[in-house]
Amino acid sequence: MNINQYKDIVQKTLEDYFKECKEKSEYEKTIWDAMSYTVLLPGKKLRAVFCLETARALCGKWEQALAAACAIEMLHAQSLIHDDLPCMDNDDLRRGKPSNHKVFGEAIAVLAGDALISFGAQTILDKTPAYVGNEALLKVLRLYLKSAGAFGIVAGQCADMEAEKKSGQIDSMHLKYIHAYKTAALFECAILSGAFLAGANEYEINLMKELSMNFGLAFQIYDDILDVISTTDELGKTAGKDEKEGKATYVTLFGLQKAKEKFNELISNCYDILKKAEIESGVYDCILNKMRERVK
């Protein structure tokens, strides 16, 4: 499978999940519209692709990871919906379209985010094929719940808001903490879920943890670099937002050049880890190469 094939199957599966639920709903149809709106907008679906490709690379099959991959995209969309709220990053544009709260209002956007977290967890339980054992299923569910909350994204977003209160004047430990939790935690959820569902051994799991952390940190630095060097049109979200909001980023703290160097170092680590894990993946290579090219 290539990236586009994975993306298409994830998109189609998500559409089906939402359609089924919306049909059964009564006075709450709006919530399904709001939930599916952000999830189905054309994002890169990177976390789902990593989840599926990791399962494929470790056991030859990706199908048993499809429900988890879709759930992780729901959780990701939730983090974006809440991240864009006026009380957080206050962003009107997401994936090239008005942010969730701009279309549905703040109250529904908050509810849609809440509902996506639990719908994701339900999806893992209801839609993962029965031949996947309960042990793997519980590991995936536990990690999903951990990543969603105060041991994951919420911790990172809270540390991010604390940094904003200090007008972005924080030390590198605090910055790494923000990146590890607000961003790497969800990549870890995606990559490790794929590994758990593939029945990976402890050695492989440890390498996948390392991969997740290196990629997650690289990805947030990449996002912070793009915020500075790209246009709103290219990004599909408001460019130049981090400095304006007084965000702490690798770029605001250390400058663009250092940020690019750190990004390249972390991406090189990813290649090394994939090699060590004996993972041959055109999908991983393609994603890493594309990111490198874009911030050259």
- The DSSP-derived string for 145-182 is HHHHTTTTHHHHHHHHHHHHHTTT---HHHHHHHHIII
**Segment 57 to 116, residues that bind ligand IPE, using CB under 6 A:** 79-80, 83, 89, 91, 95
Instruction: Name which of 59 and 228 has its Cβ closer to Mg ion.
Output: 228
Instruction: Name which of 43 and 194 has its Cβ closer to ligand IPE.
Output: 43
Instruction: Name which of 36 and 238 has its Cβ closer to Mg ion.
Output: 238
Q: Which does 248 bind (CB under 5 to 8 A by kind): Mg ion, ligand IPE, none?
A: none
**Segment 226 to 245, residues that bind ligand IPE, using CB under 6 A:** 237
- Tell me how many residues contact ligand IPE (CB under 6 A): 16
Verify binding: residue 43, ligand IPE, rule CB under 6 A: yes
Instruction: Name which of 69 and 80 has its Cβ closer to Mg ion.
Output: 80
- Whether the CB-CB separation of 6 and 49 falls below 8 Å is answered with yes
User: Min. distance of Cβ 133 from ligand IPE in angstroms?
Assistant: 30
Select from 140, 130, 266, 153 the least CA-distant residue to 192: 140
- Vertex 174: Cα angle to 292 and 140 (nearest 5): 70
- Whether the CB-CB separation of 89 and 245 falls below 8 Å is answered with yes
Instruction: Name which of 64 and 147 has its Cβ closer to ligand IPE.
Output: 147
User: Min. distance of Cβ 131 from ligand IPE in angstroms?
Assistant: 30
User: Min. distance of Cβ 79 from Mg ion in angstroms?
Assistant: 9
Which secondary structure element, helix H or strand E, spans residue 291, and what is its range? helix 282-294
Contact partners, residue 23, CB within 8 Å, separation at least 6: none
- Tell me how many residues contact Mg ion (CB under 5 A): 3
Residue with token string 């559409």: 15
Alpha-carbon span 218 to 215, nearest angstrom = 5
Choosing from 46, 148, 211, 270, the residue that interacts with ligand IPE (CB under 6 A) is: 46
Contact string 202-241 vs Mg ion (x = CB under 5 A): ---------------------x------------------
Instruction: Name which of 64 and 249 has its Cβ closer to Mg ion.
Output: 249
- Vertex 237: Cα angle to 18 and 161 (nearest 5): 90
Q: Which amino acid is at 205?
A: I
Which residues are bridge partners to 93 per DSSP?
A: 98
Choosing from 153, 170, 189, 274, the residue that interacts with ligand IPE (CB under 6 A) is: 153
Contact string 18-37 vs Mg ion (x = CB under 5 A): --------------------
CA 75 from chain centre, in angstroms, equals 8
Select from 22, 13, 117 the least CA-distant residue to 65: 13
Q: Which does 44 bind (CB under 5 to 8 A by kind): ligand IPE, Mg ion, none?
A: ligand IPE
Task: Strands of 89-224 (E only): list them.
Answer: 93-94, 97-98
Residue 194 DSSP symbol: H
Residues that bind Mg ion (CB under 5 A): 83, 89, 223
Residues that bind ligand IPE (CB under 6 A): 43-44, 46, 79-80, 83, 89, 91, 95, 153, 157, 182-183, 220, 223, 237
